[in-house]
Amino acid sequence: MTTGLFITFEGGDGAGKTTQSELLAKWLSKRGYEVVHTREPGGSSLGDSVRNVLLHGGHVMPRAEALLYAADRAQNIAEVVRPALERGAAVVQDRYIDSSLAYQGAGRPLPQDEIRHLNVWAAQGLWPAVTVLLDVDPSLAVERRAKDGQKADRLEREAAEFHKRVRSEYLELARAEPERFLVLDAALPIEELHAAIVERVAPLVSN
């Protein structure tokens, strides 16, 4: 049983997930919540090692990649997320199961049902109350990264078609679960995006 609030942020690379998740974390903190702000991969000490391999290492075979993401997820949920939720905290997380469904299940692609089963098992069936999908055109993500002087990681270096498949799958996931997803245009101003996210989350906040 969990009593806290679990919110995840999804979207392609460069969508602004980190910025918006940080803003929401601050908003929740001001309303009296203990806030745990985490990410995947890398939410745990094990996850940090996995993140380095997945994003900054050499070639990883698709099935090995999927298993590494699932291992990181299992550790993060058991070590960080569930304990926080059980003590009533708000968990704001950058990426979750939907990332695996989009990147490994569509981007690679691997069998979607197998990716879902693997990751639901790894997460012990835990799903967020709200998933914010920041929808971004892959070309805009590239422009943003270049403007910020960021070096592309292993996944960001994938071909444009890969990122188009990822985006398309995210939108399909959102259409399948409209009650969980909030889909926003990532090209909108930061303040406007934050306001829309707060409007969606506010009814779930007791304080």
CATH of the domain at 177: 3.40.50.300
What's the pLDDT tens digit per position in 82-136? 999 999 999 999 999 999 999 999 999 899 999 999 999 999 999 999 999 999 9
Query: Count of domains in the chain?
Result: 1
- What is the pLDDT, as a whole number, of residue 32? 93
Q: Which pLDDT band holds residue 159 (cuts at 50, 70, 90)? A: confident
What's the pLDDT tens digit per position in 14-64? 889 999 999 999 999 999 999 999 999 887 878 788 877 777 777 889 999
Is the predicted pLDDT of residue 176 greater than 90, yes or no? yes
**165 with 155: CB under 8 angstroms?**
no
Supply the range of the domain harboring residue 119: 5-204
Is the predicted pLDDT of residue 67 greater than 90, yes or no? yes
Task: Report residue 18 as tokens.
Answer: 């980190």
Compute, in degrees rounded to 10, the torsion defined by CA atoms 194, 199, 200, 203. Answer: 140
